[in-house]
A and B are shown apart, each in its own frame.
Chain A
Amino acid sequence: MRRGLTLGEVVIALGLLTVAALALMSVFGGGLRLSGQVKHSLTATQLAKSELESLQSGRVRIPAPAHFAGEAPVDEFPPAPYPVTTVNDVEYRTTVTTEPVPDAPGVINVIVKVQWNEDPGVVLQSYFHPI
């Protein structure tokens, strides 16, 4: 008589597969979440760079101190992509803060923060010396 699988074997095999599947789902889920996070971060970094490059071009006078977190621009400051940019149905909110650098005359500290959803967001920062 040819005997089939024992109940024990099947139970153990299913248990192993379940554990493995759960572990893999956890790993994939985390990875995908991280991947999504990084993609948001990358987009936010690009937007922050774009904001800094617009300011560096010298086309817009940079006031200091100033804080713009959604308010309407004044004299074209802050330039686009401030205040909000939508990419793939996700809203990226740009905040621009400026302050004089105390020990460097005429130099302005510019902090650009780009956030999405509830994430703390990306911060890029530089000094500018307007001509």
Chain B
Amino acid sequence: MRPNRGVAFVVTLFIVLVLTMLAGVMVQRLRHSNLFELEGRDQAAAFWAAQAGISYALGQWTADKSWQQDTYRVLEPSGASFTFAFGAGESVNNLESDVPAGTVPARQAYLKVVGESRGRQQTLEVLVGRSGLPVSRKEALLATGNITLAGAVDIKAHRSVEDNTEVEADLVSLKQAADADTISAPSGSVDVQGAVRCTSSLNSSINRTNIAARSFEVGATVDRPPDPNILGRVSAHSGAATPTLAAGQTRLPSGDTYFPNGINYEGDLELDGTNLYVNGPLNVTGSLSGTGSVFVTGDASLVGTTDIKAADAAGLALFVKGDVSLTGLDASSYIEEACAQGVDPGTQLPYSRFYQNTLDALRLMDQLMTAPDSLQDGSHWWDPAPGKTTSRKFSNAGAFNDHLTSDFDGLGDLLTHDQFSFLSTYEMVGIRENDYLQSNEVNLVGKVRAAVEAEHNPANATVKAFALKSLEQLGADDEGGFFGWSDSPERSIAEMEQMLATGDVTRFANSLNDMWDDPLLVNHPVLGPMRERLRQRLLHTLDTIRTGKLGAARFQGRIYCEGDLTCSNDLHVIGSIAAVGRESNVILNNCRITFVPEVAAQAGTSLGAVSVRAWFHR
């Protein structure tokens, strides 16, 4: 009997079995661990592939907002891929629409991209839209050097274009050097509806003489705004068209235009929804006006009238890498001098009287449109006549006769018409300090123009041409002119809606003065809330043509430069000003800045790159 026979073999087999089981477990765990870690690598590759899909779509949309093409692409050499499609349950391009598409907001796109690598998938969902340029600040005027103010300077702020609620408008110098009078107003009076702040801790860095503000602060902490990369933006548009500039007058087409060697132009340059990219200096003598944005890599010198409205209400007006100089032709002084020299042959009255009455009439029109509704308390000349319900005299012809006083249309008629049928009973309250106009004091602008035409000093040729052109615009008496609707029949709501529908906003605004307080307009669900905005448009137009403002610079949008900003011209900015080079000095003479935080915060939304606004899944 051999009872122990085979024991070693059995024991060995048992040990081998145990070892094999242990090895199996360890190998399995090792495998899982390795697979898990390798999966992390593949997930990362899939994630970055999906990111590539987003960047690819952003690039396409930057070039063409209407682009929507189903895309599958394998990235070489990594072998990862991305795919996306447009349609139900997939991506939606709503970049060009002003209304939401389902849950996708207006002017945005929803993009869903699937990245894949070795069987691993990552899905990214984003909302895409245009973002503002990184220049948004809360300051109305920001400079990195000295700020010198002269004349009447008024800095105020509204919450938004439609909401006139006052908010704070700060004036800030980021100059670090401890220099006295970093912010100063050697003459005139400055009214700041906010704080005057300076980063220098020297007390005398802010000279408070002639400056009224809510507070003054030295040693303030204020960050510099980020660099908006003007050179890069201009360079990126070097492929855009370069229109030919005609002698005397040029209207630039809508869209992007690029001038590789700067612009040196004498005449009137008009933007028609134009993004003007200038590589080099921009020198314009005459006028630069219209709707659009101007980017300049050199200095900008604008002599004459500047009137730029950014392409959208929240846009950029002027972006300059170098210095900005805004200089008026001082046509007002020229016209005043021309009118001081002669007598109107028809009335034998001095031209100066017509000129003064013209200024008064324009001032009254401005008052009429500026007076808030709350100031209709019976003590102002724009109040309704006793027993009348029509306020502000924005009335029809019947009410106009009954009031025996002025209204907007009446003042327009007085400025531009030779025949003024209401003159005999027209008590021009406010004009010439309640002096009654003589019956032959009509067509005031025409008389002023005659005085200018009679002036023949060759040295004044440029300013004379400019003045005549402005007076011609002011005196236009057709339906396309500013007073074209003077004495016109009452507009109806239907007519006004039709004007808006056809995009005839100018005619609409011109008609608005007739309808301002009409319950039809006030209670209209769409037009009613637009009254304030439309009134601003009307004031803008009025301001543009006011003879007292000839040669003014007016911007709606943000002004940004990295050199010095010098304005020896009336300047009105609805937006904000930033001069933020290494040490950019600002000199303003007679200036109004109406800071609108909404405008500043969204500066450049029409020009900013298409970028991701929100992530849904990452």
Interface residues of A (CB under 8 A from B): 2-6, 9-10, 12-13, 16-17, 20-21, 23-24, 27-28, 31-32, 34-35, 38-39, 41-42, 45, 48-49, 52, 56, 101, 104-107, 109, 111, 122-129, 131
Interface residues of B (CB under 8 A from A): 2, 4-9, 11-13, 15-16, 19-20, 23, 26-27, 30-31, 33-34, 37-38, 40-41, 44-45, 48-49, 51-56, 58-60, 62-63, 75, 77-78, 80, 131, 236, 608-609, 611
Q: Is the CB of B58 within 8 A of A129?
A: yes
Q: Is the CB of B41 within 8 A of A3?
A: no
| Assembled-state Cα–Cα distance A12/B9 (Å) | 7
| Given known A-B contacts A35-B33, A52-B48, A107-B59, A125 and B75 have beta carbons under 8 A apart | yes
**Shortest 10 CB-CB contacts between residues of A and residues of B:** A107-B59, A127-B52, A13-B12, A104-B59, A127-B55, A126-B48, A125-B78, A129-B55, A129-B58, A131-B609
| Assembled-state Cα–Cα distance A12/B224 (Å) | 84
Q: Is the CB of A35 within 8 A of B34?
A: yes
Q: Is the CB of B44 within 8 A of A124?
A: yes
Q: Is the CB of B62 within 8 A of A125?
A: no
Q: Determine the residue in chain B with the shortest Cβ distance to A97.
A: B77
- Write out the residue numbers on chain A whose beta carbons fall within 8 Å of the beta carbon of B80: 125
| Given known A-B contacts A6-B5, A125-B52, A24 and B30 have beta carbons under 8 A apart | no
Q: Is the CB of B30 within 8 A of A129?
A: no
- Write out the residue numbers on chain A whose beta carbons fall within 8 Å of the beta carbon of B31: 31
Q: Determine the residue in chain B with the shortest Cβ distance to A49.
A: B44
B11 touches which one: A13, A24, A39 (CB < 8 A)? A13
Q: Is the CB of B41 within 8 A of A41?
A: yes
B401 shortest CB reach to chain A, Å: 62
| Assembled-state Cα–Cα distance A9/B10 (Å) | 10
| Assembled-state Cα–Cα distance A128/B609 (Å) | 13
Residue pairs across A and B with Cβ atoms less than 8 A apart, 23 shown, are A13-B11, A20-B15, A20-B19, A23-B23, A35-B33, A38-B37, A42-B37, A42-B41, A45-B40, A49-B44, A52-B48, A105-B63, A106-B59, A107-B58, A109-B52, A125-B49, A125-B78, A126-B49, A127-B51, A129-B55, A129-B56, A129-B62, A131-B609
- Write out the residue numbers on chain A whose beta carbons fall within 8 Å of the beta carbon of B30: 31-32, 34-35
| Assembled-state Cα–Cα distance A28/B4 (Å) | 34
Q: Is the CB of A28 within 8 A of B63?
A: no
| Assembled-state Cα–Cα distance A16/B55 (Å) | 61
Q: Which of A16, A39, A104 has the most CB of B within 10 A?
A: A104
B447 shortest CB reach to chain A, Å: 56
- Write out the residue numbers on chain B whose beta carbons fall within 8 Å of the beta carbon of A28: 23, 26
- Write out the residue numbers on chain B whose beta carbons fall within 8 Å of the beta carbon of A20: 15-16, 19-20
B6 touches which one: A3, A9, A49, A128 (CB < 8 A)? A9
Q: Is the CB of B56 within 8 A of A125?
A: no
Q: Which of A16, A49, A127 has the most CB of B within 10 A?
A: A127
Q: Is the CB of B60 within 8 A of A104?
A: yes
Q: Is the CB of B78 within 8 A of A3?
A: no
- Write out the residue numbers on chain B whose beta carbons fall within 8 Å of the beta carbon of A52: 48
A3 touches which one: B2, B9, B49, B55 (CB < 8 A)? B2
- Write out the residue numbers on chain B whose beta carbons fall within 8 Å of the beta carbon of A21: 19
| Given known A-B contacts A3-B4, A31-B30, A45-B40, A124 and B56 have beta carbons under 8 A apart | no
- Write out the residue numbers on chain A whose beta carbons fall within 8 Å of the beta carbon of B13: 16
- Write out the residue numbers on chain A whose beta carbons fall within 8 Å of the beta carbon of B131: 131
B121 shortest CB reach to chain A, Å: 16
| Assembled-state Cα–Cα distance A41/B44 (Å) | 12
| Given known A-B contacts A107-B56, A129-B62, A31 and B48 have beta carbons under 8 A apart | no
A38 touches which one: B11, B38, B52 (CB < 8 A)? B38
